[in-house]
Structure 1
Amino acid sequence: MFQPRLSVITIVYNNVHDIERTVLSVLGQTYSNIEYIVIDGASTDGTLEVLKKYESRISKLVSEKDKGIYDAMNKGLALAEGDYVLFMNSGDEIYAADTVEKIFASEPDGDIYYGETEMYDENWKSLGQRRHKAPENFTWRDFKFGMSISHQAIYIRRSLTEPYDLDYKLSSDIDWILKAAKRSKKIVNTRMYVAKYLVGGMSKKRHRQSLIERFHIFSKHYGLIPNLFNHGIIAAKLAAYYVKHKRTND
């Protein structure tokens, strides 16, 4: 049986409202070969007290100030010892108790495993599938029209990863996934929901900055001229999507 060690990394700062859901979704997995790492940014709202309730079941718990989300994620990545890494940050959840078990049972020895994400609002009410559906066969070229796989829904062989680029404050996860995907030889579509995602994160709150960063990242990986062309297609698809849904709601 293929049972690699998975390092699940959660970063959190002052999110006492949601952190326990995330922790329990990891600790409740039927798959036993999991290293769980939690990086707390020196929370002051009771988050750390919640984490300490589960400290005996958390492999590594760090609570200290950081320089932002990707600095915290780099701390977790540096501590990880598993064969694969998954970032399941505060507010998000692994989809079901047997999700990790099913992922590694789907096919052995993949470089990347991925699946679909279900969206949830702040009241933890389902909003359905992401607008960007995961591609049937994923390669690094598939992000050219947008991030078609969410960060919470991708398991990457740790040896293929590198630290997040701290020059990006909101979209470094896209750059990180693309770099790993370029090095991957075997990418497995699990064809199932693997994550629950809480909408309204920092990239949504600072949407303009996030879009500018994404444009630079896509230009770096795909070239400026192709990226300009691709963004024209993105704009057309987005307009068609909103027109369709406006008619549906009218």
Structure 2
Amino acid sequence: MQAFSNNSKNNITVSIIIVVYNAKSTITQAIQSVIDQVGSFELVIIDGGSTDGTVDVIKDYENEIDFWVSEPDNGIYDAMNKGVKNSNGKWIYFLGADDVLNPDVINRIQPILIDSKCALVYGDIKYTNGGFFKSHYSFITYIQNTIHHQAAFYNRSLFDNFAYDIKMRIISDYELNLIIYLNKSKYQRINVTVATCSKDGRSRNPKLSYKETNIIRQKYLKGYLELSSRLLLGTKFIVMTLYRFIKKNSHRYS
């Protein structure tokens, strides 16, 4: 295990947590996008024991990092739990190792966070391919995750009674977002594009996303709502699968 702590800051507004494993080619831009911010924040990096030179990059920025550790873990959500435990901010934000925090975001959002009594403050994200994800809470939240993780600032108090499920691989954040919605906790949407992201795991692995979403919904949703949402989600999965099949094989019919 390699570790470094410089947690000497007090009254931190936002803990920005980056979890990473073998991302040497992208971690530099992620870190730089954080240290270029202005405001009350700390940077926490949890590395899963990278072997590709990622740790060397982290060490290059050691004076700008408040806490980092490199050791084997049990996946992304185990690393995120470690990040929360080793952070001090009143708000928690997770940045992907292949994503970047957009310029001046912390400076713009900090006044909102300081005065907010909400469990969650969230905005939008854009993708590197030019697309956008507009986060929102609605009835659709019963069916699938509608809050992008890289658009969300979570009140630290949420983690007094919650930890990410390390058995999940790509969608444990849906559980926390669903809990907030079901508990009718206060939340606030802000008109800010928080980060620029690569395509997420749900897009790369829709079958696993469907499976893990069902596990979470079965845990919290009962009765006809559970049945109806499963049918709707199943329909969406079938439509997406057919769309990808047609797109992939369209040349055969042209």
**TM beyond 0.5:** yes
Give, in angstroms, the shift of residue 150 of structure 1: 0.7
> Does structure 1 retain, via aligned residues, the 8 Å contact 2:90–2:156?
yes
Corresponding residue for residue 56 of structure 2: 49
Q: Counterpart of 1:192 in structure 2: which amino acid? A: V
The residue type equivalent to 2:143 in the other structure is F
Does the Cα contact within 8 Å between 1:218 and 1:227 map onto a contact in 2? yes
Give the letter aligned to residue 17 of structure 1. Answer: S
Deviation at 1:165, TM superposition (A): 1.5
Q: Distance in 1 between matches of 2:184 and 2:28?
A: 33
Secondary structure in 1 matching 2:165 = coil
Question: Larger deviation: 102-111 or 210-219?
Answer: 102-111
Amino acid paired to 2:104: D
Q: TM-score, normalised by structure 1?
A: 0.81
Distance 1:233 1:142 in 2: 10
Alignment-mate amino acid for residue 115 of structure 1: G
Does 1:29 pair with 2:49? no
- Please point out which of 138, 141, 144 is paired with 2:142: 144
Q: For each residue in 1:74-114, what CA deviation from the matched residue of structure 2 results, as whole angstroms up to 9, or x when unmatched? A: 111111111010111210121x2211222233472132110
What 5-or-longer segments of structure 1 have no aligned partner?
Answer: 121-125
Identity of aligned residues (%): 30
Task: Indicate the larger mover: 171-180 or 54-63.
Answer: 171-180
Q: How far is 1:30 from its partner? A: 1.7
Task: Give the number of the structure whose alpha-carbon radius of gyration is greater.
Answer: 2
Q: Could you list the runs of 5+ residues in structure 2 that have no partner in the other structure?
A: 1-10
- For the residues of structure 2 that align with 1:56 and 1:163, how far apart are their CA atoms? 29
TM normalised by structure 2 equals 0.80
Q: What code does the residue aligned with 1:210 have?
A: S
Are the structure 2 counterparts of residues 232 and 205 from structure 1 closer, same or farther at C-alpha, using a change threshold of 3 Å? same
Counterpart residue identity of residue 43, structure 2: Y
Partner SS for 1:127: coil
Amino acid at match of 1:195: A
How much is the aligned-residue C-alpha RMSD, in angstroms? 2.8
CA deviations over 1:151-173 (Å, ceiling 9, x no partner): 11100101112211123233211
> Once the two structures are superposed, what CA deviation does each residue of 1:18-64 show, in whole Å capped at 9, x if it has no partner?
11111111111122x11110001111111111111111110001011
The Cα shift of 1:146 comes to 2.0
Partner of 1:127: 130
**8 Å CA contact 1:112, 1:184 repeated in 2:** no
Please say if residues 6 and 35 of structure 1, whose CA atoms lie closer than 8 Å, have aligned partners that are also in contact.
Answer: yes
TM-superposed CA distance for 1:185, in Å, is: 3.6
In the alignment, residue 46 of structure 1 is paired with which amino acid? G
- CA deviation after TM superposition for structure 1 residue 234, in Å: 4.2
Contact 1:12 1:41 in 2 (8 A): yes
1:10 aligns to 2:18 (yes or no): yes
Matches within 5 A, 1:85-104: 85-94=92-101, 96-104=102-110
Task: State the Cα distance separating 1:180 from its structure 2 match.
Answer: 4.2
**Residue type of the alignment partner of 1:218:** R
Residue 81 of structure 2, aligned match among 74, 81, 97: 74
